[in-house]
Amino acid sequence: MENVVHSPLRDKSQLYSAIPHSAIGACRLCATPLQRSVVDLGLSPLANSFIKPELQNSMEAFYPLHAFICEKCFLVQLSEFESPQSIFGDYIYFSSYSESWLQHAKNYVKKQIDRFGLDGKSLVVEVASNDGYLLQYVKEAGIRTLGVEPAANVAEIAVSKGIATEVSFFGAQTATRLKSEGYVADMMVANNVVAHVPDLHDFLEGFRILLAPQGIVTFEFPHLLRLIKEYQFDTIYHEHFSYLSLQVIRRALAAHGLRVFDVEQLPTHGGSLRVFATHRDNAEQQESPAVEMICTEEKEFGLENFATYENFARTVIDIKCGLLDFLITSHRNGKVVVGYGAPAKGNTLLNYCGVGPELIPFTTDASPYKQNMLLPGTRIPVLSPEAIREQKPDFVLILPWNLKNEIVGSLSYIREWGGKFVIPIPQVEIF
């Protein structure tokens, strides 16, 4: 293999075709052997495996962070190196710590109640319901709720809000059990979870089982089109097993008797889709023109053209060099750069770029569950946001750049000492 890595191949697909299929795996949607690379981000720890300070000298597991695209069904995906039980069993992400995300959830609930006529007789089931961030608004409207959340520590918060929560991974088995207990969902919600499941078929089959005959399910997930188009490579991490286009999710749902009838484009997470689906034979919901419009946009951009991904991989390297240039120049000029936020995307970025406390002495986060921890891999300390006011750094690197407006508003005081903000993606922007 050594001589392959150092050979002067211009076509990377030749290089990866030399890797045994068993070393990469098969497509989780159609079982085709994976051999075409999208981007190789090297070795990285699990993005949310924060380190306690007393364990800073302990060993840490690193796994390949290498995305491939299926040459048959075009699903972009990672291999599974850790089970969902290991990743999500005791989770550190709590949705309610983002005000903008809470508002997003509140707006969603009101809109769907009005659109689909949900009332006190309806049942809304959210899969990966986290700390009840969304179902709390459904409950306030007098509608029955049920959350399904695998992380017991997160589910406890939802239960404390009075939201019934099933602590379980969702799939065909869980759906069958819930249905046997009398649950039939008029509406199901799956926000930023479909990408997190390694067994897509088992997961999607669960919706077919639990959804009422005229029921509606909505999926929200980062749009592959935006990821590739805007070089959002930092949204690739081990928790995200799949990276979805509308065309791919449409085919995946169809395999389980579910039909996409509408889609909305959202600004969340750098650009997401909200896909509406129902049972194939539910004639009440006619297909919106938006479905074909976005599928056409994906085709025209080249999501099924391998050259698109080759360009993406080359540009990712340029972005890495640009961020390192900024950080190294700032260091040599005696300027201090600190981070804001400790999101999974930030951990992908910092580990890929090889950045540690020598260039970013600390980052901050509003979540007390992350404060006083160390970032995985880089071991950069996570402090309270108050540390920025106390230390008065020259630059604040916004790691959750998708929340830029919210963060800039809350940290506007850095202008008092001439501080500036920095966004790393799709290129370094200082303002």
In terms of Cβ atoms closer than 10 Å to its own Cβ (0-12, 13-18, 19+), residue 307 is exposed
The C-alpha atoms of residue 93 and residue 225 are separated, in whole angstroms, by: 25
The C-alpha atoms of residue 220 and residue 126 are separated, in whole angstroms, by: 12
pLDDT tens across 248-290, in order? Answer: 999 999 999 999 999 999 998 889 999 999 999 999 999 999 9
Class of domain 307-430: alpha beta
Tokens of 339: 């981070």
pLDDT given for residue 12 in this prediction: 35
Cite the DSSP H helix spans in 69-146. 84-88, 99-116, 135-140
Task: Provide the pLDDT confidence category of residue 101 given band limits of 50, 70 and 90.
Answer: confident
Does position 11 have pLDDT exceeding 60, yes or no? Answer: no
What CATH number should be reported for the domain whose range is 95-286? 3.40.50.150
pLDDT tens across 12-33, in order? Answer: 333 333 333 334 689 999 999 9
Q: Which of 16-20, 25-29, 184-188, 292-296 has the lowest mean pLDDT?
A: 16-20
Does position 322 have pLDDT exceeding 70, yes or no? Answer: yes
For range 79-89, the mean pLDDT? 64
Terminal alpha carbon distance of the chain: 45
Q: What mean pLDDT value characterizes the chain? A: 91
For range 386-390, the mean pLDDT? 98
Q: Which helix (H) or strand (E) holds 330?
A: helix 306-332
Residue of 321, 168, 190 lying closest to 244 (CA atoms): 190
User: What are the distances in angstroms from CA 341 to CA 10, 384, 402, 431?
Assistant: 38, 10, 11, 18
Angle at 92 between CA 235 and CA 363, to 5 degrees: 65
pLDDT tens across 300-312, in order? Answer: 999 999 999 999 9
Domain extents for the chain?
A: 2-79, 95-286, 307-430
pLDDT given for residue 94 in this prediction: 66
Task: Provide the pLDDT confidence category of residue 7 given band limits of 50, 70 and 90.
Answer: very low
> Quick check: 407 and 379 in contact, CB under 8 A?
no
Burial 391-401 (b: 16+ CB within 10 A, else e): eebbbbbbbbb
pLDDT tens across 133-172, in order? Answer: 999 999 999 999 999 999 999 999 999 999 999 999 999 9
Fold match flag (95-286 vs 307-430): yes
pLDDT given for residue 100 in this prediction: 83
